[in-house]
Structure formats: C-alpha cells, structure tokens
Structure 1
Amino acid sequence: MDPRDVEYEPVSVKEVLAEMKDTAELLIDLSYSAVLNGSDEIAREVLELEGRMDILQLQGRMSLLMAARSPEDAEQLAPVLGVMGAAEKISNAAGDIAKIVLEDIGMPDAIRTALPEAVEVLVRAAVDEGSPYAGRTLLDVNMETETGVRVIAIRRESATGKRRWLMNPGPDSQLQPNDSLLLRGPRDGISAVYEAATGEPYEPAEAVEPPIEDLERAIDSITLMKDMSELAVDLAYGAVLFDSEGVAEEVKELEAEVDALQSRFEAWTLRAAGRVEDPVRLRGLVRLASATEVISDAALEISEGVLRGIDAHPVVAAAVEESDEVIVRLSVASDAQLAGTTLGERMVKTETGMRVIAVRRGESGEEWVVQPGPETELRGGDVIIAKGTRAGAERLSELVGDVQEFDE
C-alpha cells in the first residue's frame, strides 16, 4: 500500500506502537546486515519495511488526533506522537543505510570485518533440509538457553513465491527448510547455530586491515557508535516503561557520547581521504555514521517525556510490554543465586537468553552501569534492566530472587 492511499480507520494505538517498535528494531538489524553482506536483497527488504512503517505512523497519528478532545488530552498524547516520530526516524535512518548498498555508494572493505566485532555478531543462515532444526519449534530447539543466540527474524517464502518476515518469532514458531534466519548472539554461539542450521561451518569474513591508521580509527568509532545507538534505543524504551528518569539520563549521556564519536569520526575520515587511493569510496562510511547518529537522536526523543517529567501515556508502556521482546526490571535479592557472581561466571545470557542492558547499584541507588560485560558483578540490592523473551525473563527472575510472571 502506498502511504498516500492511507485513509482513516479505527486502529489500536497500542498495537500500532508495538508493531512500530518491533519493526524499528528489526530494521536496525537488517540494515547493518545488508552492509555486512553487501546484499541488495536484504537492502530492498529494508526499504519495503520502511514503507510499512510510514503507513503505521500515519494510522497511529490519525487515531491520536481523533482521540484528542481537549487541551488536557493533547498534553497527554503529545509524548505518544513523539515516540511514533522517533520510531519513524529510526526507520528512515535504516533506509539510508540500506541505500548505501543499493546505490553502490562505496564502503571500505575493512568495515565489513569490523562491524561483526561489535558486542554481538549478526549473521544470516538458511535452514537446510537435513538440519536438526528443520520442523521443530524454537521452544524445542532451546537455542537461546543453550547458545545465547536469538532468532531475530525469519524470512519465509510461500509456495506462490511471496516472501514475508516473521519478526521476533516466539517459542511456538516452527523452523522450516529454506527459512532464512537472522541470528544475533556471541561469536561462539553463532558458530554452533550456523553450522547446525546450514550444515556448513561458520566462516567469518577474513579480516581486512585498513590501509592507514586514521581510517582504522574512523571504523573503530563507527563500530562503537552502532553499539551505543542500539543500547540507547533499548534503554529509552525501558525508561518509558518504568518511568525512570535515571535510565532516561543514561540515554541522554549515550546520545552525547555518540555525537562526540561522530565528530572524531569526521576528523579521522577527512584526514584519511587525502591518503587513500579512492576517497570517493569513503562516502558510504560517512553516510553510515550519519544514520547511526540519527538512531541515537531518536532514542533521546523516545525518552524525552520522562526527562521533562511528563507522565507517559499508559498506552506507550502497554505497547512496550506487548511487543515481541520484553524489557524487565528486577531487583537482586541478597541471597539470590546471582548475588556475588559476575554475568560471565554464570553465563547469564546463555542460561536465560536475556541480555542485561543496565545495572543500578544498590548502595547509592543512583549509579548506573550501562552495557555491563561478563566481568560485571551483581550484588544484593542491585536493580537490573534486561531484554529478551518472556520465558527467559521468568528464568532470570528466579536467578535474582525476584520471581515474577510474564504472560505470553
């Protein structure tokens, strides 16, 4: 459907917001995957989903305008429009990244081996007919718990040749032969899952050393920008869900760090341009950095209402709760299994499939550890924010001694 043909019809704003959140997060992954693989096919799929996001935003805005009947309504609904606009901004940035591939703008080969060194590896794998995964559900396979690898999306082709994406598939999703899986997780886990799915060993791209030091620094900067921007989006939705000014402040700090990284990236790229054989090939790198910075800006817009002390409309929190991935806040009990251990020692991500994205220290209640690593210790009284499946959230809640139920 062309966005110009969209007419008003009653829709659930909560469902629109949830789909926009899931689509925006998938678009980030797909757009970077298109660059990593140099894939026109994935890039075109990004643009198709971007068109879908345009329609969702129009439908959501129309419904919100119809719901506003007083100045008080307008004041309460304004942050909802902001969240929708931010998701649309992420979508547009992903589209810009995809066009780097489709328009053959140019990209140094070194970037394709640098981006997989980010916090988690992102790969695409086709399910072979002889794969042990074929015909089984994700619950049966138990992939996340055993390997820490998550199936972000499944691309499936019907008998008529029509392709569609299943975003953030759940435990009942069945993997079929010829399904194309978008996988995300630690390198060791990715290696095992890729081989099980395809029947072939996982062979990461051979490292390409940047020809000059300034270009290497620029590529390192953009890799860090990508990690920080994705984390900022996760934290922003967490800030809205839990109405946490502390988390929103961390989003603000991350956005400022991404801005600073972009400034350094621009300086190093300009220096490198005078010393590489074909400086035009750096255009794609510049566009990638610009789009990545836009994603961090969008994250700040999502959390802006919390920073301004404006109560989030309940529909936003409900949409985050009902999206395919859950964001949870859990308190660590002093006698919990995880108290006094590091995330790496207990292999929390592998055991639960949950990614801990922030830890608030219990002593002061003000210190946040953002993007904790394997060496981060959990202590009694800490509060953690984590993202993943509902089943994983239940398992994690048991390990920290804050047992909750997360409805499927």
Structure 2
Amino acid sequence: MNMFDGEPTPVRIKYEPTNVKDVLVEMKDTAELLIDLAYSAVLHRNKDLATEVLRLEARMDVLEMRAQMAIMMAARSPDDAEQLVPVMGIVSAADMISDAAGDIAKIVLDDIGLPEAMRAVIPEATETLVQGAVSEDSSYAGRTLKNIDLESVTGVRVIAIRRDDEWILNPGPRTRIKTGDVLFLRGPEIGIPDVYETITGRAYDRPEVDTPDIEDLERAVNTILHMKNLSEFAVDLAYSSVLFNSEGLAEEVRNIEVEVDALESRFEAWTLQAAADAPAPVALRGLIHLGRATEVISDAAVDISDGVIRDIGVHPVIQMAVEESDEIITRIEVEPGSDLDGASVVAGVPDTDVTMSIIAIRRPADGWILVGDADATIHSGDVLIAKGTRTAADGFTDLSIA
C-alpha cells in the first residue's frame, strides 16, 4: 500500500466475481476492528494505532466497491432490487463506520487536541489494546497461536494480524506467526508488558495518566465513553438483528440511537462549560470531533437494521451467513416472579443453569446497563440482551416467563 502524507493512496478497482456473503462478513469484522482501534488510539494517544485505522479505512473502501459491484450484478428484477436494498444499506453503513473511525484517528494524527482527562477516566479493569511487530528473535516467530497458548498463560489475545498489506481479522489456533507480522493484542494491562517485549524485543512504554481537575470536563469525558460503549453495542445489535431477522433487536438499536443523541446533547453542553475553566480550551476540540464521530456510528447501526424495521425481509445471502453462525443474540423481557427475577449477574454470566452470557440490560429507570462494565442484579421489567447457542437461548427465554 502506498502512503502519501500519512494516508493510503486510492487504488483502481476492477470488477471480479465476488462472494457477497464473504465480503459482508469481512466488512462487518473490519468495521468492528476499526471502532476498537480508533478509540484505543485516542484513549492511549497512540499514533501507530491511528495509522493502522487509516490502513483499514482504505481496505474498507475497496470492500465497499467490490460489494456494490456484486450487488449491482445480482439485481435482475424489481423483486431482486427490493431484497438487495437492505444489503446495500449494510454496505453503506459499514463505510459510514469506517469514515467515522478515520475521523477519530485523525484527532491523534493531526494533533487536534484532547484533554489529558481522557485517559484518567479509563477504568482500571478495561482491557488494553496495543500493536507490535514480531522481531526476528521473538520466541513467537514461526509458531502457531495454539502452540504459543498466549491467552491461557497471560490473558492477552491476538485479535488481528497485519501481514504486509493483508489482514487476518480472526486469527485462529492454526494461525502461524511470522517475523514482521504486526500483531494487535488485547488483554489486561498487567499482562501486556511481558507479551509486548517478547514480541517486539522492546520494553512496553506504559502511558502516564493525569487526574482531571475540572468537574464539567470529567462529566463530558465520562459521557463520551458511555456514548462509545453504547455505539459499539448498537453496531453488534444491528448486525444481529439483520442476521436473525429480529424486529425486536432492531427496535433496541433505535432505542440506543435515541439515547446516544440525548447523551451527545449533554456532552456538548458540558464541554462548552468546561472550556470556560480550562487553561487551554483549544485542547477540547478533539472532544467535539469525537462526539460527532461517535454519534455517526450509532446512526450507522440504525441504517444496518433499517431493512428489518421496514419488513423487507432477509436476503438469501444474509441467510447463508446465519447458517454459519454458532451463536445467536436474543432479547427477552423478565416477568415478575420468573426464575430470572432477582438473579445475580457477574461479569455477564447469570446465576442460572443456562449457559447464556448477558451483554446488556435495559431498565426503565436507568436506561442501558452494559453488563461487561459492572455486576448487576436482574429485576422484573428488565429487557435482557444475551448471547449463546440456539438451545441455550430457548431455555433462557423459558426462565424469563413466570
């Protein structure tokens, strides 16, 4: 990939027969990784991660064009065109997410300015995402991920690999690490330094964290992090609503988008109030950029699920992706007196015999609670979003009924 002024140079794309399903899966995986990398680049002031975002953004542009060409070739009748509209919407929304992630990365690359408070509010339990190139003398070079057994030993996992201009988005046990590979690592802060040094041969430079001293700024930063978490969740939920043709999940995506809009309004007010007390108000520009990009991501999630809401139906190409899925996401409402009413949830795992993992809870009084961020107790009236096998989902639904 050629680079000019830090950004990839556009390449010419020619039509070639493409499996639309495979492209959609790749676009989905790329969009999710883009969100992850972009926010990590901002939170940790990491220009290397920000540069990788621009590489992935260029890759997404190529995927979008290939998908559009394939969809245009597939439309041979009005009925085909009607069914392909939601597929085109998914493609367009993934590109929206890609562009928003690129805008977030440019906050770091262009030194637009961000308050140090951004890093101070990162929870200690939050996993860290870093990248590093495999050195020639690394003990990991030439070995498979199964052989290294990294996650079991350190808690750190390889979420993606860039090999020259190619990407491996979901590396598996048989994936072999090569010298020069750029590994993207996610795991607890305590496990990162040793793994990073083993991979790169260099010591890990742990970022320093300052404490915010402006109350309105702290509120603004906490709000933008909540918006980020909700937007990421909305994208996951939107793809699931399409893959499983679930109007209930699609409605929840719309609910989240409304909540993100409301949060953005409060976020902008607190940011402007903080500017009056900040010693360098220009450093808050990046926060405004971040808020706008985050809101765009939640809008894209709505676009992904729009075909489900409009009851256009699921195109066969999406149905094929469903058939390959090992897990499903389900939405249930807890009835008073049911087995789930009063059950505790620790790290997403409910105290039941059913092996479902709860991702989030929507509570009438509190809005969305992302369970991965905190333990919780389930109450009647809660709407639960959970992930697991189809069999487990059926049993989980039964537990919600009194």
What TM bracket, shorter-length normalisation? 0.7 to 0.9
How much does 1:210 deviate? 1.8
Superposition TM-score, scaled by structure 1 size: 0.76
* Structure 2 residue aligned with 1:19: 26
Aligned partner (choices 62, 81, 87) of residue 74 of structure 1: 81
How much does 1:135 deviate? 4.5
* Structure 2 residue aligned with 1:49: 56
User: Conserved in 1, the CA contact under 8 Å of 2:248 and 2:331?
Assistant: no
Per the alignment, do residues 121 and 301 of structure 1 end up closer, same or farther by CA in structure 2, a change over 3 Å counting?
Answer: same
Aligned partner (choices 71, 93, 115) of residue 108 of structure 1: 115
| Partner deviation per Cα, 1:70-126 (whole Å, 9 max, x = no partner) | 211111100000000000000000110111112111111111333x42984232154
- Distance, in Å, in 2 between the alignment partners of 1:102 and 1:311 is 42
Per the alignment, do residues 331 and 228 of structure 1 end up closer, same or farther by CA in structure 2, a change over 3 Å counting?
Answer: closer
Is 2:296 the partner of 1:263?
no
Is 2:351 the partner of 1:311?
no
- Distance, in Å, in 2 between the alignment partners of 1:73 and 1:250 is 28
How much does 1:131 deviate? 6.9
- Distance, in Å, in 1 between the alignment partners of 2:274 and 2:238 is 34
Per the alignment, do residues 320 and 38 of structure 1 end up closer, same or farther by CA in structure 2, a change over 3 Å counting?
Answer: farther
Aligned partner (choices 94, 101, 108) of residue 94 of structure 1: 101
- Distance, in Å, in 2 between the alignment partners of 1:255 and 1:175 is 40
Is 2:130 the partner of 1:124?
yes
Per the alignment, do residues 4 and 201 of structure 1 end up closer, same or farther by CA in structure 2, a change over 3 Å counting?
Answer: closer
How much does 1:360 deviate? 10
- Distance, in Å, in 2 between the alignment partners of 1:358 and 1:341 is 14
* Structure 1 residue aligned with 2:45: 38
Is 2:170 the partner of 1:139?
no
Aligned partner (choices 293, 296, 303) of residue 301 of structure 1: 303
* Structure 2 residue aligned with 1:365: none
Per the alignment, do residues 202 and 42 of structure 1 end up closer, same or farther by CA in structure 2, a change over 3 Å counting?
Answer: closer
- Distance, in Å, in 2 between the alignment partners of 1:241 and 1:214 is 41
- Taking every aligned residue pair, what percent have the same amino acid on both sides? 52
Aligned-partner SS, 1:247: helix
| Partner deviation per Cα, 1:298-348 (whole Å, 9 max, x = no partner) | 11111111122221212124346669xx6534899xxxxx9x975538979
Q: How does 1:3-402 map to 2 (within 5 A)?
A: 5-114=12-121, 116-117=122-123, 120-124=126-130, 126=132, 135-144=142-151, 149-156=156-163, 162=164, 164-176=166-178, 179-185=181-187, 187=188, 190-192=189-191, 194-198=193-197, 205-319=207-321, 327-329=327-329, 342-344=344-346, 356-358=358-360, 371-373=370-372, 375-376=375-376, 385-386=386-387
User: Conserved in 1, the CA contact under 8 Å of 2:50 and 2:109?
Assistant: yes
User: Conserved in 2, the CA contact under 8 Å of 1:21 and 1:320?
Assistant: no
Name which of structure 1's ranges 214-223 and 139-148 shifts more when overlaid on structure 2. Answer: 139-148
Per the alignment, do residues 21 and 271 of structure 1 end up closer, same or farther by CA in structure 2, a change over 3 Å counting?
Answer: same
- Distance, in Å, in 2 between the alignment partners of 1:272 and 1:194 is 35
Superposition TM-score, scaled by structure 2 size: 0.77
How much does 1:50 deviate? 1.1
Name which of structure 1's ranges 281-290 and 33-42 shifts more when overlaid on structure 2. Answer: 33-42
Gaps of 5+ in 2: 2-8, 333-339, 351-355, 397-402
Higher relative contact order (CA 8 A, sep 6+): 1
| Partner deviation per Cα, 1:154-192 (whole Å, 9 max, x = no partner) | 244xxxxx465422211212345665432334x4xx423
User: Conserved in 2, the CA contact under 8 Å of 1:327 and 1:385?
Assistant: no
In the comparison of the two structures, how many residue pairs are matched? 367
Per the alignment, do residues 330 and 105 of structure 1 end up closer, same or farther by CA in structure 2, a change over 3 Å counting?
Answer: closer
Q: Which amino acid aligns with 1:32?
A: Y
Per the alignment, do residues 330 and 202 of structure 1 end up closer, same or farther by CA in structure 2, a change over 3 Å counting?
Answer: farther
* Structure 2 residue aligned with 1:390: none
| Partner deviation per Cα, 1:223-244 (whole Å, 9 max, x = no partner) | 1111111111111111111111
Q: Which amino acid aligns with 1:195?
A: D
User: Conserved in 2, the CA contact under 8 Å of 1:20 and 1:87?
Assistant: yes
User: Conserved in 2, the CA contact under 8 Å of 1:125 and 1:194?
Assistant: no
- The CA RMSD over aligned residues, in Å, is 3.9
How much does 1:359 deviate? 7.3
Aligned-partner SS, 2:160: strand
- Distance, in Å, in 1 between the alignment partners of 2:144 and 2:394 is 28
User: Conserved in 2, the CA contact under 8 Å of 1:330 and 1:400?
Assistant: no
Name which of structure 1's ranges 76-85 and 47-56 shifts more when overlaid on structure 2. Answer: 47-56
Per the alignment, do residues 38 and 212 of structure 1 end up closer, same or farther by CA in structure 2, a change over 3 Å counting?
Answer: same
- Distance, in Å, in 2 between the alignment partners of 1:111 and 1:12 is 41
User: Conserved in 1, the CA contact under 8 Å of 2:348 and 2:358?
Assistant: no
Name which of structure 1's ranges 215-224 and 303-312 shifts more when overlaid on structure 2. Answer: 303-312
Aligned-partner SS, 1:169: coil
- Distance, in Å, in 2 between the alignment partners of 1:194 and 1:378 is 37
Gaps of 5+ in 1: 157-161, 333-337, 349-353, 362-367, 387-392, 403-408
- Distance, in Å, in 1 between the alignment partners of 2:153 and 2:331 is 25
- Distance, in Å, in 1 between the alignment partners of 2:310 and 2:246 is 11
Name which of structure 1's ranges 228-237 and 307-316 shifts more when overlaid on structure 2. Answer: 307-316
